[in-house]
Every structure is written in structure tokens, then in C-alpha cells.
Amino acid sequence: MTALSLKNVNKSFGSVHVLKDINLEVEEGEFVVFVGPSGCGKSTLLRVIAGLEDASSGDIHIGEDLVNLTPPAKRGIAMVFQSYALYPHLNVRNNMTLALKQAKRSKEVIDARVAEASRMLDLEQYLDRYPSELSGGQRQRVAIGRAIVRQPKLFLFDEPLSNLDAALRMNTRIEIANLHRQLDASMIYVTHDQTEAMTLADKIVVLRDGRVEQIGSPMELYNNPANQFVAGFLGAPS
Ligand code: ADP
Ligand code: MG
């Protein structure tokens, strides 16, 4: 089953044409990585998928549903940003539960989901702390936990590790791979880091200047890059 499909999606801001005829599919359970240089439209593409920006044209399906007009909270998607975007005045538990409370989930459901997410992310002893009392890596785990408790069918990660130091980046990358194995969900992961792309992806989408340059498995792209740009980006011989 296809979890997400984009057909001829375009996005312009005024006269600036940022996304150009994007076509791609994400299968259920698939881990898809978007790579491309800064400014090529990766974040805009995630925001359009999440519904935080409207597409200027084209169709977005999640499962069977056309979601072009569906508000973000109803798309079954959770997004994790580079900047964590935690609420500073809420402790870890309340950061994680806010969306569930807004959705009027029962206390039992909320408690069970926080327990599960905090166990998966090793956050159990931090639930009463505030974001300012956490390290960068812990904050990013809270941001991921906040996504997990919503049990989305599709996770969107926008360069989630780029504010972390190298060692923590590797640990968190392994954690995200483990989460993907445990959760019954598709993931789209944006990075400009070639190692992250090659190690995490079932499928890589290479973007350049708002267009899809090539789509394939890491090995396909490495062995058969469509052009010099893709080869250069993935460190492949060309
Ligand atoms: P990336 O995430 O790949 O670095 P972005 O999606 O952030 O790229 O940006 C792609 C292009 O779209 C950039 O040229 C950026 O300036 C432009 N852009 C993004 N958001 C807006 C906006 N709200 N208004 C105008 N231009 C924007
Ligand atoms: Mg970006």
C-alpha cells in the first residue's frame, strides 16, 4: 500500500517557484530520505506534505485520501524539526501530551503512550524537567517523543540531528533507525548528510533546485547515479 503520493506538486511563493512538478511515492513502512543542497526546497516539500503550506498545484494523497484541503492536525502526520520547537513553559511530560489532550484522548491512553515513548527514548527520568534543564540530545528526543505519542502513520523529520555534535548525531541516528523498526509507520527524513542518507534510507530522493533529480535505493544511486550532481552528492565514483 502507498502511504503517500505526490502528483505534479508545485509550490510558489509569489513569483518564486520553489517546488517544480514533484512526483513521488512513499510505501507503507518505508524509510525515505530527501537529500539536496541548502535552499533546494526540502523543508518546503515537508511543509507542503504536512499541510503547513498549501501546494500551488498538484495532488497529495495520504493512503487513499486526497488531502490537499485537509488541515495539518487531520493528516495523520507528525513532524520533528531541527530546532526542536518545544514549549519552554511545559515540562517534558506536558510537551509530549499537549496534542493528545487537545484531541481529548483519555488519561489512560495518554499515560500509556507517554510511558511507551519515554521508555523507547530513554526519557523516563526526565519527564518532570523543563526544556531548559535538558541537553540538546535530550530535547531532540522529547521532540521525537512528542511525535511518537500521536501514533502517526507518517513521520516527517527535518534535519533532526543538525544541531547535535558528531557523537550524539550517530547515537540519535541509530535510535531513529531502531524506532523505525519498532513503529508501524513510514518515515520521511530530510538531511544534507550523505552518511545519514546512505545508512537510514530504503529509498533516497535527490532534490536539486526544486526538482526531483533521481529516486532510488542507496545502492542504486551509488552504483548508477543519473548524473554528476547525484554522484557528487552521494560520494559515488562518477
Ligand atoms: P531547504 O530546506 O532545502 O534548505 P527551503 O525549502 O527552506 O530549502 O527553501 C527553498 C527555497 O524557498 C529558498 O529559496 C527559500 O528562500 C524559499 N522559501 C522558503 N520558504 C519561503 C517563504 N515562506 N517565502 C518565500 N520564500 C520561501
Ligand atoms: Mg531546510
pLDDT in tens, 55-111: 999 999 999 999 999 999 899 999 998 777 899 999 999 999 998 999 899 999 999
Partnered with residue 11 across adjacent β-strands are: 19
Q: What is the mean pLDDT of the chain?
A: 93
How many angstroms separate the CA atoms of 207 and 142, rounded? 29
How far is the C-alpha of 85 from the C-alpha of 101, rounded, in Å?
Answer: 18
pLDDT exceeds cutoff 60 at 238: no
Helices 92-102 and 107-120 meet at what angle, rounded to 10?
140
Q: Which atom of ligand 1 is nearest to the CA of 36?
A: 3
Amino acid code (one letter) for 226: A
Q: Is the CB of 39 under 6 A from ligand 1?
A: yes
Kindly report the protein residue whose alpha carbon is nearest to atom 14 of ligand 1: 39
Ligand closest to Cα of 47 equals 1
Full-model pTM? 0.93
Q: Residue 48 CA: which ligand is closest? A: 1
